[in-house]
Structure 1
Amino acid sequence: MDAGEEEARSAYVKSTSELDVELSKPVFFVNSQGDVEKIHAILRDLRIADSDVKTEPASASIFKLTFKATALRGDKLKRFEDALKKGKCECISDGIVPWFPRKIAELDITASRVLSAGAELESDHPGFKDPNYRKRRREFAEKANSYKHGEPIPKMAYNEVERGVWSTVFNKLSQLYPTHACREHNDAFKRMIERCDYKNDDLPQLETISQYLRSTTGVRLRPVAGLLSSRDFLAGLAFKVFHSTQYIRHHANPEYTPEPDVCHELLGHAPLFANQDFADFSQEIGLASLGASETFIEKLATLYWFTIEFGLCKQDGNYKAYGAGLLSSFGELKYSIEDAGPPDRKGFDCEEASTTWYPITRYQPIYFVTESFKDAIQKMRKYAKTSGRAFTIKYNKEAESVEAVKI
């Protein structure tokens, strides 16, 4: 990690009645001169110079302390916060708001924080005992980890085994789409066959798809080595960036993958990103995540699960799938649409969807049915106001940046 990344990762904003959104400048508010003196004593213990923090009155009884970007790097921020609690220094705030990217290029920081499913595999993974497969996963991970914003996405040459897996998945799913997928997906899927080299005997390239999506809805793809945290993944959506894997599931069982793979990304997700309303709905979830509390991030991740991954809609009186988890699974796609008994289908409600428990390793017992993507956008914007943030986020399409605006 270079100094710039370390600095950005340690940046926090402390929010109260006013909001300081300068990148990498931690801000604290205290309510007495005595606490200011305690804090300066703590800083001396941490060997932080007085010149590294600016103290100024924020009101008649509140003091604002603004630190230089380099003052609380590494573990110093946590040590400082721990010392505040121990010294019973009262900071006026409703919580620390984690650093979040303000510019699309800053996704270079978050994209590298892969939690799992990258080069290292769990012991129960179908490819764990296959040295050739594990070697390929490392190759995919290295390509993704070296990628930087603005570069062409590396082209991957898929081998015969990988192309065979793609062919199996592509053929089975494309037979189900006309009757089981929503019309927005089917319309886009036809266009991507024409424009993005979708075919059954070889995999399309992320760069080709990304260029097409940018020209239609403004969405771009970005390669990622594996699973990101919910916070980091959703932050990408705020900038209309979808983090996509390039590795493919193990050939031993083409119908199953324990983690998102290129089949899931390109067959389930990518076509719908060519629909403007769906792309905008996805972005609204991402914008709501920036600077949100961990509790609200968890709610948004659950809401994402029940919509972008496993969402249904109703068209011409019939249930249709738009969630990528359904559109990339032969079995659950049929189960969610065809079975009249087991699944419970409910009208989409953000609060209910964000707090409903869901299983990861078996078919969903509940599906939420969206009236339309335009309706989902309006519901999502209203729900974002319940986040508890002291600010709202505005997206600048031309600059591909966001601005935090005090409420």
Structure 2
Amino acid sequence: MEAYKAALKNSAFCGPEVMQNGIEKREVGKIEHVGKNDQFVKVDHVVKQEHVKVDQFVKPENVKADEVVKRNQFAKVENFRRKRRCKSISAQSINEISDLEHLDDIDGIYSPSGLGKTTSIVFSLKDQVGCLANALKIFQEHHINVVRIESRRSRRSDSMYDIYMDIETDNIRLEELIKRLKKEVNSISYNDLPIPPSPATASRITYLDDELQNIPWFPRKVSDLDKSANRVLMYGSELDADHPGFKDKVYRLRRKIFADIAFKYKYGEPIPRIDYTEEEIKTWGTVFTELMKLYPSHACREYLRNIPQLTEFCGYRKDNVPQLEDVSEFLKEKTGFQLRPVAGYLTSRDFLAGLAFRVFHCTQYIRHSSDPLYTPEPDCCHELLGHMPLLADPSFAQFSQELGLASLGASDEAVQKLATLYFFTVEFGLCKQDGLMRVYGAGLLSSIGELKHALTDKSRKIPFEPVRTSKQECLITTFQDVYFYTESFEEAKDRMRQYACTIKRPFAVRYNPYTQTVDVLNNTRCIANAVSELRGDLCIVSDALRRLQQIEIEEEEELEAEREAETPRTPRQIKSN
């Protein structure tokens, strides 16, 4: 008997189930299959959390013939399923489907957890962050146990994955599960039978399969930025050796605190307020004081127009570091832009994607106090003093957003060129105002030394031309070799729009401010919806123009009447009357 018990423990078929999962689910007196030699055992009783106590082995000839037949059917179909896993998801033949359906009538086959019958399901997901987690959440919400899960790259598209699952559920919950999954995944099969997608997602699925299979992932709604905001290139304890704070353990620990705040932040939450140290406030004050001396003679008029408002509503002072939440609320009322805390450098693609939704990823930490006039990376001195005043300008805000929209779904090469254009405009751009050169680039407006240098005769300045500018090398640790200027923000926007049209994408994108989503314009229906909305806006504008014209006509008639009343009449005119 001891040898038989040892054989039971080592059984490849029922060992894991009997010893772990299925202890409390076996029926006393039930005949169970063990081993690979058609041996069966009779369960005497169940020992919880240990193993099944075996009373005796039952020889195959003592088992009812129909029980053996059912077991052989189960083994045959199960073997067929194993061969099919992760090899093909095409539909089975009629005979194979009948074999699967016949399993529902077999007695004595139980799921390990007792939650219902075991069912196979296959669905396809886009290869992007969070897709599988979102799908698994649906299983959790419906209290469905996942017994087995496998994945493989889809044969339909290199940008998709097929997910195979064995699940335990009843028919009611399975039906609800499939309804939910049809709205979330690209394709789904139940027991190898393809299930048509819901009408709401059918066109989207076809499009993703056929045209977007090689398109890099990009956020479709503003909350999708949660998936990319933490993919920073450098933060906290990972400072480079040449960073001023590399050897300062206290500073690195402080940076880690800021990083943790950014990592935990989710869209829609208020930005946590920071209690800045005296040393940090002093560093901010040094930068603030020196730059304020230069702005009147160097900054563009749009920048200077918004500084007083930031001082009044956001606490821009040398003895106070503004809080991102206050600045974000201010920008939201002015141009619809909002801030999001970030731990450090983002990739160009992720940063530009934020601009498409009028979201600016903003740091909260302050540069090291040992060199307040220099920082090798963006800090809140750069963000708050360089970027915020111009993000409050409607024209500049639109220019920034259009740069972001042009990057969505673009190739790596195109994104790199757009990042270069952003660098030489938003960060280091110049413009002419009243015949004088002025600065609007945030990198210049937050760097005392280079701000002075950029407007001198020593710097090289040429007109902004996107194709030429996109090939210029960006310098980080030294002054730029060349600066690009435009006559106005409107000119920069027009040239950027022309350049964006040259980016190769099988679709266009449009930002929907009401839902804070990006509409992919890839078919006539989407374009018709966009035109319908634009037609409504044009009607409003046309009506406003008509009313203004009517007011002007009435005012001219009144003035004409007043002039006639004031003009003295001659005796001949009086006699003729």
Q: Structures share a fold, TM > 0.5?
A: yes
* Aligned mates of 1:70, 1:185 — CA distance in 2: 43
* Aligned mates of 1:230, 1:253 — CA distance in 2: 27
Change over 3 Å in CA distance of 1:119–1:190 after alignment to 2: farther
Deviations 1:322-345 (A, max 9, x none): 0010000000000001x213x221
Paired position in structure 1 for 2:333: 215
- 1:160 and 2:278 are equivalent in the alignment: yes
* Aligned mates of 1:376, 1:67 — CA distance in 2: 46
Q: How does 1:7-406 map to 2 (within 5 A)?
A: 46=86, 49-50=89-90, 68-69=124-125, 76-77=152-153, 81=158, 96-337=214-455, 339-341=456-458, 343-406=459-522
* Aligned mates of 2:213, 2:518 — CA distance in 1: 21
Aligned to 2:498, what secondary structure does the other structure show?
Answer: helix
* Aligned mates of 1:268, 1:100 — CA distance in 2: 27
Aligned to 1:132, what secondary structure does the other structure show?
Answer: helix
Contact conserved, 2:235 with 2:255, CA < 8 A, in 1? no
* Aligned mates of 1:298, 1:351 — CA distance in 2: 13
In the TM superposition, residue 69 of structure 1 has moved relative to its aligned partner by 2.0
Q: After superposing the two structures, state which structure 1 stretch, 291-300 or 70-79, moved more.
A: 70-79
Amino acid at match of 2:498: K
Deviations 1:111-156 (A, max 9, x none): 0111113442111111011111011000000001100000000001
In the TM superposition, residue 406 of structure 1 has moved relative to its aligned partner by 2.1
* Aligned mates of 2:305, 2:211 — CA distance in 1: 49
Contact conserved, 1:348 with 1:371, CA < 8 A, in 2? no
Aligned to 1:190, what secondary structure does the other structure show?
Answer: helix
* Regions of 4+ moved over 6 Å: 70-75, 91-95
Contact conserved, 1:391 with 1:404, CA < 8 A, in 2? yes
Contact conserved, 1:396 with 1:402, CA < 8 A, in 2? yes
In the TM superposition, residue 202 of structure 1 has moved relative to its aligned partner by 1.4
Contact conserved, 2:462 with 2:482, CA < 8 A, in 1? yes
Change over 3 Å in CA distance of 1:149–1:48 after alignment to 2: farther
Structure 2 alignment gaps of length 5 or more: 1-82, 92-121, 133-150, 160-208, 524-577
In the TM superposition, residue 319 of structure 1 has moved relative to its aligned partner by 1.1
Change over 3 Å in CA distance of 1:226–1:76 after alignment to 2: farther
* Aligned mates of 1:78, 1:141 — CA distance in 2: 36
In the TM superposition, residue 350 of structure 1 has moved relative to its aligned partner by 1.3
In the TM superposition, residue 190 of structure 1 has moved relative to its aligned partner by 1.5
In the TM superposition, residue 47 of structure 1 has moved relative to its aligned partner by 5.1
Amino acid at match of 1:262: C
* Aligned mates of 1:398, 1:120 — CA distance in 2: 39
* Aligned mates of 2:123, 2:500 — CA distance in 1: 30
Greater RCO structure (CA 8 Å; 6+ sep): 1
Change over 3 Å in CA distance of 1:146–1:48 after alignment to 2: farther
In the TM superposition, residue 92 of structure 1 has moved relative to its aligned partner by 8.1
* Aligned mates of 2:292, 2:153 — CA distance in 1: 52
Amino acid at match of 1:348: F
Q: After superposing the two structures, state which structure 1 stretch, 199-208 or 110-119, moved more.
A: 110-119
* Aligned mates of 1:188, 1:259 — CA distance in 2: 25
Change over 3 Å in CA distance of 1:355–1:77 after alignment to 2: farther
Aligned pairs, number? 343
* Aligned mates of 1:290, 1:70 — CA distance in 2: 16
Structure 1 alignment gaps of length 5 or more: 1-42, 52-65, 83-90
Aligned to 1:213, what secondary structure does the other structure show?
Answer: helix
* Aligned mates of 1:101, 1:48 — CA distance in 2: 31
* Aligned mates of 2:88, 2:405 — CA distance in 1: 35
Aligned to 1:69, what secondary structure does the other structure show?
Answer: strand
* Aligned mates of 2:435, 2:126 — CA distance in 1: 59
Deviations 1:34-81 (A, max 9, x none): xxxxxxxxx968456447xxxxxxxxxxxxxx9722799788449974
Change over 3 Å in CA distance of 1:132–1:235 after alignment to 2: same
Contact conserved, 2:158 with 2:214, CA < 8 A, in 1? no
In the TM superposition, residue 189 of structure 1 has moved relative to its aligned partner by 1.1
* Aligned mates of 1:48, 1:270 — CA distance in 2: 54
* Aligned mates of 1:349, 1:97 — CA distance in 2: 27
Contact conserved, 1:277 with 1:374, CA < 8 A, in 2? yes
Q: Percent identity?
A: 51
Contact conserved, 1:103 with 1:401, CA < 8 A, in 2? yes
Change over 3 Å in CA distance of 1:44–1:71 after alignment to 2: farther
Amino acid at match of 2:488: S
